[in-house]
Chains A and B, each alone.
Chain A
Amino acid sequence: MKPRLYLALIIIPLGMIMAAIPQNTTHPYKLTPDELLEHVNSGMQYFSPDEIADMIINKDPSLLLIDVRGEDEYEVFHLPGAINIPMSALLEDQWKDYLNQDIRLNVFYSNSTVNANQAWMLTMQLGYENNYVLQGGLNYWVETIMNPAPPEATSPNEEIAKYNFRKGAGMALGGGTAVDMSASGQPAPELPKIAPRPKKKRVQGGC
């Protein structure tokens, strides 16, 4: 028998197996538990309320706030410009292009940080980048931005400057004394248009 026949006897069945079975489209987890723990310990996923307030006031187009609470809670109050992706719907296909992208800065928030951190961890494990968490969640937001506690008269200048910024930000974002009135009744913002990305970035190299 000729070598070509041997070759054909091996590769044709392998090719037929390949043609018959469904394609593997799963992507293996990219982070080991050690790496994830390191990320969590470093606290790099947090954005402070001050940073977020500054971005909202400056209408930073790269910021996308994502409310991971339920729809009813979102209706009652949400941060300006935030979109609603309830935890239960996080992995649905319609949100994939919002979460898996490299243009915007996604910031998750919930009432505390628990759900937001869960969402962050899930997206990390899926290999998505540019997802972050609002430090302290909405409760801390209300405490610091909407109703900042006036500092002592003897506080250092930085404290007073911070308080002034927070007071101004709180007023600009409709806070001040009437927290509950702040953003309620405000219509939900339009979902920003996101063009689907072709595929994940490949690392440069080659032959």
Chain B
Amino acid sequence: MAPLIVNDIISQNTNFFLAFLIGMGFGFILESSGFSSSRKLVGVFYGYDTVVLKVFFTAAITAMLGLLFLSLFNWIDLDMVYINPTYLYSTIAGGIIMGAGFILGGFCPGTSFCAASIGKIDAMFFIAGMFLGVFIFAEGYPLWEGFYKAKFMGIPTLSQVLGLKDGIVVLGIIIVALGMFWVGEWAESCFPREEY
């Protein structure tokens, strides 16, 4: 019965080992599908390549359907699955900072390590910048602690906020995602680029 680590089915060390294997697999797939190219990644903001949007939405839908079906078969207890607590203002601010960094640097945190490991110098600078940001955040924590913890909302899920059944929300997200894929491909045909 998953989750494995919470229910003492596997030990902490086994957990780390599995995480290591999964992480390597994740990095390999990212690199082999071209996610270590910052030009490909920022394409989603200029409209000439929306593969990022498609990949991450497909991943979200796969995970969503997988978790709900596993829960349906009693193979996983969804109440034990970790959900990030929501602090509304810092989430919005974090999203803006993350998005701006994505456009400026051309990487998101995971893909920057992926690109650095194949020797891309801009990715190494990106990682250095990330650590600098972490350092500034940690050292200046007293300055923004109030803002960081403002508007705590617990751990709401979309279905709880909307007051709908999980399944209805899932179907809605699938339809929205497919609509976005269609918009993405339309954008790709509108703003094509030869070489990138």
Contacts and interface: CB of A to CB of B under 8 A. Distances in A.
B154 interface: yes
Given A24-B72, A202-B83, A206-B84, A18 B166 contact: yes
B31 interface: no
Contact of A12 (B3, B165, B178): B178
A204 B82 contact: yes
Contacts of A23: 165-167
A20 B178 contact: no
Interface residues on B, range: 20 to 34
Contacts of A198: 154
Contacts, number: 76
Contacts of B77: 27-28
A14 interface: yes
Contacts of B117: none
A35 B144 CA distance: 46
A24 B71 contact: yes
B9 to A, nearest CB: 10
B182 interface: yes
A23 B69 CA distance: 10
A19 interface: yes
Contact of A206 (B1, B69, B82, B165): B82
A17 B58 CA distance: 18
A23 B182 CA distance: 30
Nearest to A8: B178
B52 interface: no
Interface in B135-192: 154-155, 165-168, 170-171, 174-175, 178, 181-182, 185
Given A18-B167, A202-B80, 11 more contacts: A4-B178, A7-B58, A8-B178, A24-B71, A28-B74, A202-B155, A203-B3, A203-B80, A205-B82, A206-B82, A206-B84
Interface of B: 1, 3, 5-7, 58, 61, 65, 68-69, 71-72, 74, 77, 79-84, 154-155, 165-168, 170-171, 174-175, 178, 181-182, 185
